[in-house]
Amino acid sequence: MASRYWVVSLPVKDSASPLWNRLQDQISRHSFDTPLYRFSIPNLRVGTLDSLLSLSDDLLKSNSFLESVSHKIRRQIEDLERVSGAESNALTVDGVPVDSYLTRFVWDEAKYPTMSPLKEIVDGIHSSVVKIEDDLKVRLAEYNNVRSQLNAINRKQSGSLAVRDLSSLVKPEDIISSEHLITLLAVVPKYSQKDWLASYETLTNYVVPRSSKKLFEDNEYALYTVTLFRRVADNFRTTSREKGFQIRDFEYSSEAQEGRKQEMDKLVQDQESLRGSLLQWCYTSYGEVFSSWMHFCAVRIFAESILRYGLPPSFLSCVVAPATKSEKKVRSILEGLSDAANSTFWKSEDEAGMAGLGGDVDGHPYVSFTINLL
């Protein structure tokens, strides 16, 4: 599938069929690897020249918006599938691959009546895509909120012993808590473990001898227990801190631990559920946005062709997907068939920088703009 297409229109003098045949012949002879398709546009309501001029001022801005929303949803689909490790599905519009939808475009008369004013059609397309973008923001915020909560919990469980949650590392039998005795948890720098084992019994009075046991070790710290009389616990905390040992506040509770596990399980389920529904919504909404964008492109090629070639509407619109190496040759073919007496003028304007409009509007003696699918 090509990722970049040109939508172009050429002026027609009498009938579009001979011009189409000439174009096909020229492409097949001089750029045979360039896909070429008719871009069928119905007889839309022209309106007044002033209305067309007014509409043309908004066309480029609206196209940038529609393109950006299309790409935003596509990137979101890629992100969601990458997180889940799922295999990517082909993007479709009403069950049709997006490239086929573009190259075999058919106007949806039921959704966009051709007798409606062009501005009304464009405004309707813009409004519907704005609603989809707003919906995406709401759904994405809900999904990211759950992800943030999960990430925060994971950081607590996998971070340094100085800050992480210790409940998964401590068992009930590791802790003594009675009227007179208490077990504290000490976070000891790895390089200071010998100092801890040699000194913890003397950091204060009434420490139970040989009561310290290592429970866990990470890259920076080791976690030790120590049992002592409850009435000297505060003094032990102070002297430990002075020696560079951190006493972590911890109270073992099986109920609290079970509650944290249930919370974690629920967040994981919520994340998977939201991810699945968001992914499905993105697939559906991408199709809606892409369809709206292609109808907008049909209005755009129609309006710009009238402004370029005049009334009554008489032009051939098509879609071309040249490879980079073939672009210059295809441009030359299109220019030769545009039958424009002022082609030299258009060339000079192009060289002077008319293509500087973001690469979207091309300075050529025929109407041309680019559709980027990626």
CA distances to 109, 184, 261, 269 from 165, rounded to whole Å, are 61, 15, 12, 21
The pLDDT tens digits for 272-310 are 999 999 999 999 999 999 999 999 999 999 999 999 998
Confidence tier at 362 by pLDDT (50, 70, 90): low
**How far apart (Å, rounded) are the C-alpha atoms in residues 222 and 162?**
10
Task: Judge if the upstream peptide bond of residue 365 is cis by omega within 30 degrees of 0.
Answer: no
Provide the 3-class DSSP secondary structure of residue 127.
helix
Cβ contacts of 164 within 8 Å, gap of 6 or more: 155, 156, 157, 158
Of the chain, the percentage scoring pLDDT greater than 90 comes to: 69
Written as six digits, the tokens of 45 are 């309501």
The pLDDT tens digits for 25-40 are 999 999 888 999 999 9
**How far apart (Å, rounded) are the C-alpha atoms in residues 63 and 117?**
18
The pLDDT tens digits for 131-182 are 999 999 999 999 999 999 888 887 777 778 888 888 888 888 999 999 999 9
Q: What Rg, from alpha-carbon coordinates, does the chain have?
A: 34
The DSSP 8-state label assigned to residue 366 in this structure reads S
Buried b (16+ CB within 10 A) or exposed e, 126-140: beebeebbeebeebb
